[in-house]
């Protein structure tokens, strides 16, 4: 069994290998508890922005669908007259300096994949910095509201609204903190958020239902013909839950003959992709696409997705932020 599958078995199965890791989880819990206490007591300082801050995050390691939610909220607020800035850590990004404002010309190596995707989909200002409070200080000069992509545990930035996105199928796994389980914070944290979004599962009381809607299969080169129904393909998914992407493609009728296995946010060797697409069409996530745009791919496609959320969720969130803006 591979290391990745072993971890999944520990976190989401009944593996007994979690027990030797429980002392490390207890240490992790102690460290994070002390850190939260220091912020609550104002011993460690938090930055309070002059404009409302919405945090979109999760308590579980890995991807749970946060970025489509950020895109959906940013798009909704912009359509309702708000100037929006999105703040991100910029995981795997290597900009020349921080804070770094992403532009359409920014190389993916500078911006990271998710910030580049958010800019492409929303047109909002996108600023990356591991110190999100520093990014927020820059963002508030050009926006009416700040949305942070992840950052629920980044207590150095005060927030006005917390939104937790949960994988509705896996939920909290075995319920243990890292490394014995997949949790960054305990399940108690779910009760603290303003909104708990259930991505793809049966929502429980008080949870906001969400589904990821596929927006088609688009060619990376606009001169390329549409991908035929039922085509044999090679699939690429550098995301936290690649199995979900593979299931989506299979559900659309495509036959996956090969998978390009890379880690979350990782980038494959472009020469390997150029060779692969000579055999079969290469289909990737939109998050992957932003990393390979302009690399000369000719027989490749990407699959954009959107968060399908209730209209009353957006309306209530907008009203809340308007009240916060008036109060500030």
Q: How far apart are CA 17 and CA 176, in angstroms?
A: 13
> What pairing do the DSSP bridges indicate for beta strands 207-214 and 195-199?
parallel
Stretch (H or E) spanning 57: strand 53-57
> How does pLDDT run across 87-114, given as a tens digit for each residue?
999 888 899 999 999 998 898 889 888 8
For the residues 230-243, what does the mean pLDDT come to?
Answer: 85
Q: How far apart are CA 326 and CA 139, in angstroms?
A: 19
Lowest average pLDDT, out of 26-40, 190-204, 228-242, goes to 228-242
Lowest average pLDDT, out of 155-169, 170-184, 226-240, 262-276, goes to 262-276
For the residues 231-252, what does the mean pLDDT come to?
Answer: 87
Q: What is the pLDDT of residue 1?
A: 57
Please give the full DSSP string across 229-280, using - where no structure is assigned: TT-EEEEE--SS-HHHHHHHHHHTT-EEEEEE---TT----HHHHHHHTTTS
Q: Which residue, 320, 326, 322, is CA-closest to 161? A: 320
Q: Is the pLDDT of residue 2 over 70?
A: no
| Residue 296 in tokens | 């000369």
Q: What is the pLDDT of residue 3?
A: 66
What is the separation of C-alpha 225 from the centre of its chain, rounded to a whole number of angstroms? 30
Helices 66-79 and 113-122: angle between axes, nearest 10 degrees: 30
Q: What is the pLDDT of residue 311?
A: 96
Q: How far apart are CA 117 and CA 295, in angstroms?
A: 17
DSSP-assigned letter for residue 94: -
Q: Is the pLDDT of residue 308 over 80?
A: yes
What per-residue string of b and e applies to 27-57 under the rule 16 or more CB within 10 Å gives b? ebbeebeeeeeeeeeeeeeeeebebbbbbbb
Lowest average pLDDT, out of 165-169, 250-254, 271-275, goes to 271-275
Q: What is the pLDDT of residue 34?
A: 97
Residue range 29-211+308-327, CATH number: 3.40.50
Q: How confident is the prediction for the chain on average, in pLDDT? A: 91
**What torsion, rounded to 10 degrees, do the Cα atoms 50, 196, 285, 11 define?**
120
Label residue 189 by pLDDT band (50, 70, 90).
very high
Q: How far apart are the first and last CA of the chain?
A: 54
């Amino acid at each position: 069994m591979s290391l990745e599958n072993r971890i999944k078995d520990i976190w989401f199965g009944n593996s007994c290998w979690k027990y030797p890791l429980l002392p490390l989880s207890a240490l992790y819990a102690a460290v994070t508890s002390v850190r939260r206490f220091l912020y609550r007591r104002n011993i460690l300082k938090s930055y309070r922005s002059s404009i409302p801050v919405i945090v979109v995050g999760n308590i579980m390691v890995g991807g749970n669908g946060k970025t489509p939610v950020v895109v959906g909220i940013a798009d909704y607020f912009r359509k309702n007259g708000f100037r929006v800035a999105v703040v991100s850590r910029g995981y795997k990004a290597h900009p020349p300096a921080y804070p770094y404002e992403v532009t359409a010309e920014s190389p993916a190596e500078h911006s990271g994949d998710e910030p580049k995707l958010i800019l492409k989909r929303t047109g909002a200002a996108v600023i990356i910095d591991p110190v999100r409070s520093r990014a927020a200080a820059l963002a508030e000069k050009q926006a009416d509201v700040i949305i942070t992509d992840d950052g629920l545990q980044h207590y150095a930035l005060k927030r006005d609204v917390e939104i937790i996105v949960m994988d509705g199928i896996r939920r909290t796994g075995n319920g243990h903190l890292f490394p014995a389980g997949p949790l960054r914070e305990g399940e108690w944290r779910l009760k603290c958020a303003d909104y708990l979004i259930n991505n793809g599962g049966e929502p429980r009381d008080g949870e906001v239902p969400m589904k990821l809607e596929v927006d088609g299969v688009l060619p990376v080169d606009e001169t390329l013909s549409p991908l035929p129904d039922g085509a044999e393909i090679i699939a690429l998914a550098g995301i936290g839950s690649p199995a979900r992407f593979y299931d989506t493609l299979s559900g659309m009728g495509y036959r996956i003959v090969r998978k390009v296995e890379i880690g979350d946010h990782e980038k494959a060797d472009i020469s390997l992709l150029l060779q692969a697409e000579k055999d079969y069409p290469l289909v990737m996530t939109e998050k992957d696409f932003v990393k390979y745009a302009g690399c000369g791919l000719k027989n490749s496609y990407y699959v954009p997705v959107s968060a399908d959320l209730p209209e009353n969720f957006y309306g209530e969130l907008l009203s809340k932020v308007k009240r916060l803006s008036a109060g500030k």
